[in-house]
Structure 1
Amino acid sequence: MKTSRLFLAITCLIAAGIVTPIVDNLAAAGEGDGVTAPFSATTITVRNDSEFREAVRRAQPGMVIRIQSGQYKSDVWIENLHGRQDAPIVIEGADPQNPPVFVGGSTGWQISEGSYIILRHLHFRGQKVNGLNIDDGGSFDTPAHHIRLEHIVVEDVGPVGNCDGIKLSGVTDFVVVNCRVEGWGGQAIDMVGCHRGVIERCLFKGKNGFSQDTGPQAKGGSTQIVIRQCRFVDAAKRCVQLGGSTGLAFFRPQGVLYEAKDLLVEDCLFVGGEAAVSFVGVDGAVFRHNTIIRPQVWVARILQETREPGFVPSRNGFFERNLIVFRSDLRDFVNVGPYTAPETFRFAENWWFCEDRPAASRPRLPSPESEGVYGQDPRLRQVDEDRWVVENPAARDFGVRQNP
């Protein structure tokens, strides 16, 4: 376990390094989870589509654009919108309890080449391609950066195919917090060539009639992404995808030989879905302290979809201190595909319980597990649709860490 502990320590340092600069840069004038604009900011309130689009065109660092409740048109194109570290541009719903809704169209908003932007209390519904799209405008050397999304709702995108709730391409130093994505075609949050990002306290919920291939997905050379304290309810075929399949021309940076690296998923709840986590062409990822309840087909997958010369096999994953409650009709515990390196994955200190056949709780894994717990009932109790508590005191150090 020495290698695992070292990797976890390094990953924790990476995570700490991610959070601090983002919070310092975007919350310089605010406290807690909600970021407030600088005291001297100019605030503009808009009430219709034309006023909103004109305000965005005139936006300057430190400006706050407040959108009144109501229904607005989608297909909003925003380009070269730049705040400053000490004066971000804020676009928000005027009434957090009744946010403005951007309905229909191909994409709700597309923001290209932006920086120091805060979006919050906004609702996107019924887009055909993407709910919210933020990218670097195809200029890989100048990523969009320091973007914060708070209390964003995206729903009913697609319904099938490569249609994403939130799409991030070439975005660095970002936070997605307290958002909800419900009903989508491709990925709930698709990250292509993204770096130093945090997704936390979000809800991902599947809907009938939507293909929902993955929940959050980090690929295309993405690094240093943390996904934590999120809830997944019948969310996707692959609830979290660490890696993926990307055309070489879209990697950021160019020339890397992995889909993703240095990823962390922790303290998340997974209820249903085909598989909680998929490691796909990834070179180092930690999946720890997560609670997985009744996965439909597998607990995890180790796959390789990008097979270009020199590309690393999916490797160096850590699966530790998770709590897994499953039924005996599970197809398998870990689905291992060809061209991967399953022997490099480490399994340690996980709690496994087969609720209809406790004697069948010990899993078949691609490498030996150390200090696992098998066949003991954690006594999970459902509080509501996306909240469960552990009533067996011995199991409380496994899975999602409980708040004191």
Structure 2
Amino acid sequence: MRLLILLLPLACLYGPLSATILHTGHGQRYADITAAAKTAVPGDTILVHNGAYRGDQSLQGLQGAPGKWIYIIAEKSGAVLFEGGNTAWRGSDLAYLHIEGFVFAGQKGNGLNLDDGGTYTSPAHHIVLQHCTFRDMAATGNNDLLKLSGVDDLTIVHCTFLNGSPGGSGIDMVGCHNGLIRQCRFENMGANAVQMKGGSSNIRIEACMFRNAGSRAINLGGSTGLAFFRPANATWEAADLKVYSNVFIGSDVPVAFVGCIRSEVVNNTIYKPGRWAIRILQENRDTTRFVKCGDNIFRNNIVCIDEQVRTVCSIGPGTAAESFTFSNNLWVHTGNGAWSGPSLPAPEAGGLVGKDPLFRNAEEGDFRIEDGSAAAGAGFGVRDPERDYGGNLFGRMRSIGAFEVNE
């Protein structure tokens, strides 16, 4: 009965499950993920029983089909740990795969590594990661908790990323497309919490918490070697990225636009960053191929800084920062009531400076606002995001920041 309750919601979401459940783990028919993955066919469920297991497992070529996803599920969410190894799991050319309930910890290379096997025209695709925890990288370099290369149609929801490598990312995406990262938590990251580069596009990050989430919490773009772009002829590092209804606490800079175009950061709350609130950079200097970082939007955000910040918006050479759109942001300096506001590369319409957003309890991480807040009803009318950080619908006269006023 317990197993039926566990699997029934997945059947409703992704289609009928086959009758084959591959019991995996200590004392089971399949000793580990690698063995079960070699046997699984579309519609099967790999059920991993509670316990701790070694890393370096292989999902090579594991593919479900439309309406017949393959599920890899922990018997109890959070009670199945894959510890150590160079990677916890590695898989290439995966498709229609749902992974849920696991903890990955202590890897020396990358926590989980999913890719297209180097066949850039045939990406891994339709992958769901849900209720997983990635933590405690046993490395200090460019090592990522979740490494994704050439993965399309990806959903990451209700996942937690803790204690990343000082030089790595929570999620590193190279040439990934059509993705959703929603209601995840990132804390104590290294270089980045989420990085999307190498031709990545159409990725949405929504309703996530970023607490001290790296030097650049979100890197919209980056710097990628030419051989790794997907598509190979991309003229930008990233395009059409959406950052909606998130909360950022700390980090050197919460949001960096780095060689990206047509991307937008809307209805977020940024609280006490360490050095800057925004960076606009162009790290790939090949001007014959790559367009300048530009045509991006920063709108309806609350930006609350203190004495740590000297420059709100840092602009590097070779960008088209003047093409950015800034509107309806609320800017406040907690230690300087006479602060005149940020110096931005383009005029801002509808911005507010020095107005108290009246957070309920910012020091305790509660950034909800009340009717009397200057942010209430002061946002620019946009279609997306439809919902705030807490899942509530934004009003017709939407508020600024990650939270709508309680009705």
Same fold by TM-score greater than 0.5: yes
SS of 1:204's equivalent? strand
- Give the equivalent residue in structure 1 for 2:184: 202
Does 1:184 pair with 2:170? no
Separation in 1, partners of 2:179, 2:365: 24
| 1:369-398 per-position Cα deviation (integer Å, ceiling 9, x unaligned) | 111011111111237855422234432301
SS of 1:328's equivalent? coil
- Give the equivalent residue in structure 1 for 2:389: none
- Would the aligned equivalents of 1:258 and 1:281 in 2 still touch at CA under 8 Å? yes
- Give the equivalent residue in structure 2 for 1:52: 33
Separation in 2, partners of 1:307, 1:191: 21
Q: 2:101 aligns with which of 88, 109, 121?
A: 121
Q: 2:150 aligns with which of 154, 170, 187?
A: 170
Pairs within 5 Å for 1:284-363: 284-308=262-286, 309-363=288-342
Percent identical among aligned pairs is 39
Kindly tell me: are residues 94 and 293 of structure 1, through their superposed partners in 2, closer, same or farther at Cα, counting changes over 3 Å?
same
- Could you tell me which runs of 5 or more consecutive residues in structure 1 were left unpaired when the two chains were aligned: 1-26
SS of 1:360's equivalent? coil
| 1:207-260 per-position Cα deviation (integer Å, ceiling 9, x unaligned) | 6xxxx1011111000110100100000111000010000000000010111000
Separation in 1, partners of 2:340, 2:138: 38
- Give the equivalent residue in structure 2 for 1:21: none
Displacement after TM superposition at 1:170 (Å): 0.3
What letter corresponds to residue 398 of structure 1 in structure 2? I
Kindly tell me: are residues 246 and 296 of structure 1, through their superposed partners in 2, closer, same or farther at Cα, counting changes over 3 Å?
same
- Could you tell me which runs of 5 or more consecutive residues in structure 2 were left unpaired when the two chains were aligned: 1-8, 377-398
Pairs within 5 Å for 1:348-387: 348-382=327-361, 386-387=365-366
Separation in 2, partners of 1:38, 1:140: 31
Separation in 1, partners of 2:217, 2:145: 14
What letter corresponds to residue 37 of structure 2 in structure 1? V
Q: 1:154 aligns with which of 134, 149, 158?
A: 134
What letter corresponds to residue 269 of structure 1 in structure 2? V
Higher helix share: 1
- Would the aligned equivalents of 1:214 and 1:237 in 2 still touch at CA under 8 Å? yes
- Would the aligned equivalents of 1:143 and 1:170 in 2 still touch at CA under 8 Å? yes
Kindly tell me: are residues 41 and 241 of structure 1, through their superposed partners in 2, closer, same or farther at Cα, counting changes over 3 Å?
farther
SS of 2:131's equivalent? strand
Q: How many residue pairs align between the two structures?
A: 369
What letter corresponds to residue 56 of structure 2 in structure 1? D
| 1:99-126 per-position Cα deviation (integer Å, ceiling 9, x unaligned) | 2111111111111101000000011001
Displacement after TM superposition at 1:352 (Å): 0.8
- Would the aligned equivalents of 1:159 and 1:183 in 2 still touch at CA under 8 Å? no
- Give the equivalent residue in structure 2 for 1:229: 207
SS of 1:394's equivalent? coil
- Would the aligned equivalents of 1:265 and 1:286 in 2 still touch at CA under 8 Å? yes
Separation in 2, partners of 1:385, 1:82: 44
What letter corresponds to residue 111 of structure 1 in structure 2? G
Separation in 2, partners of 1:52, 1:305: 40
TM-score computed with the length of structure 1 as normaliser: 0.88
Displacement after TM superposition at 1:51 (Å): 4.2
